[in-house]
Amino acid sequence: MNSKNITIIGGGNLGSSIAKGLVQSGLLKPEQITVTNLELHLIQHLKDEIGVNITTNNLEAINNSQIVIVAVKPTVARILLNEIKEPLQKGKQVLISVISGIKIQDLEDILVDVPVIRAMPNTAIAIQESMTALSFNEKGLEHKDEVVEIFDQLGATMIIPESQMPAATVLASCGIAFALRFMRAASQGGIEIGLSSKQSLEVAAQIMKGASKLIIENGTHPEPEIDKVTTPLGVTIKSLNKMEHEGFSSSLVQGVVSGHKKILETES
Ligand SMILES: NC(=O)C1=CN([C@@H]2O[C@H](COP(=O)(O)OP(=O)(O)OC[C@H]3O[C@@H](n4cnc5c(N)ncnc54)[C@H](OP(=O)(O)O)[C@@H]3O)[C@@H](O)[C@H]2O)C=CC1
Ligand SMILES: O=C(O)[C@@H]1CCC=N1
């Protein structure tokens, strides 16, 4: 990896987060990373804060790179891919698409004979804590090790068949927003029972970190961990039962399924 350059096309929410994570990881030097955008002033902060190259010239950036990450909105994806297909087909750069709802076949229809990987990360990639799902086309598989090496530096990585990509999009990528909404709701509850807004948020963030680490580091399931907290006749079970009466788990499951239906419509 040390000698390769990466271009990120589309320095928006996710593209900028990927650039930040890459620099923080130390896997590449900032000068090996180029971020492009339609308007340079919108990504000037990346040059100022993390020292990566910035440009509006997609073709030049691609020609100077071996790995190209495309992070534009689905609505402009096809136009963009048609604009950049020539240098990609000539140079055989590895193309990593984080665009949701655009299948490998759609990418291959435009980019003939190019190694293609679909990656579905979340914005915690900026701090190397993403959950990233990866699917490869046949040529992309030749680059599996180096692509996994990159995303392993940026959090946890899961290789999945592309048929699971809609599910991974909802749970891994949208899921960080679901978790943050839980955090906000918990902290609002905290304020109502007497903690300051600052205290509430600090507590809510730390309980989520603690809960995550318990599961990730111990390899256990949430339910036995919940059992350890629920004292008979106690406070926790009173709160949990009220939450469940109000549809807590059910609303989360339905929300996830609803997002899945939406992405399946896009991918069909
Ligand atoms: N945000 C997230 O958490 C996640 C997003 N994704 C996917 O990643 C993609 C990007 O999402 P997100 O970062 O939120 O979107 P943003 O709109 O924040 O970022 C996309 C950026 O690409 C720029 N852009 C558009 N056209 C071009 C072009 N031709 N050349 C260079 N840059 C261009 C846009 O500029 P302008 O605004 O001026 O149009 C914008 O700054 C989407 O396809 C999304 O589905 C996947 C997983 C998680
Ligand atoms: O909301 C969206 O459509 C994108 C895809 C995954 C996360 N954000």
Is 240 a member of any domain? yes
Residues 95 and 69 in one domain: yes
Is 31 a member of any domain? yes
Residues 124 and 252 in one domain: no
CATH code at position 219: 1.10.3730.10
Nearest CA to ligand 2 atom 8: 174
Residues 19 and 112 in one domain: yes
Residues 123 and 206 in one domain: no
Residues 144 and 35 in one domain: yes
Tens of pLDDT, residue by residue over 138-168, are 999 999 999 999 999 999 999 999 999 999 9
Is 16 a pocket residue for ligand 1 (Cβ < 6 Å)?
A: no
Identify the CA nearest to 179 among candidates 123, 110, 118, 240. Answer: 123
- Residue 1's pLDDT is 67
Residue 3 has pLDDT above 90, yes or no: no
Give the span between the Cα atoms of 230 and 228, in whole angstroms.
Answer: 6
Residues 120 and 23 in one domain: yes
Give the span between the Cα atoms of 154 and 50, in whole angstroms.
Answer: 16
Tens of pLDDT, residue by residue over 9-28, are 999 999 999 999 999 999 99
Residues 226 and 254 in one domain: yes
Give the span between the Cα atoms of 96 and 188, in whole angstroms.
Answer: 39
| Nearest ligand by distance to the CA of 99 | 1
Q: Which of 127, 160, 193 is the endpoint of a domain?
A: 160
Nearest CA to ligand 1 atom 2: 14
Mean of pLDDT values over 214-220: 95
Is 1 a member of any domain? no
Detail the residues annotated as belonging to a binding site for NADPH. Answer: 58
Is 123 a pocket residue for ligand 1 (Cβ < 6 Å)?
A: yes
CATH code at position 13: 3.40.50.720
Pocket test for ligand 2, best of 174, 178, 261 (most atoms within 8 A of CB): 174
Residues 149 and 38 in one domain: yes
**Structure tokens that stand for 12 in this block:** 């928006």
Residues 117 and 97 in one domain: yes
Confidence of residue 268 (pLDDT cuts 50, 70, 90): confident
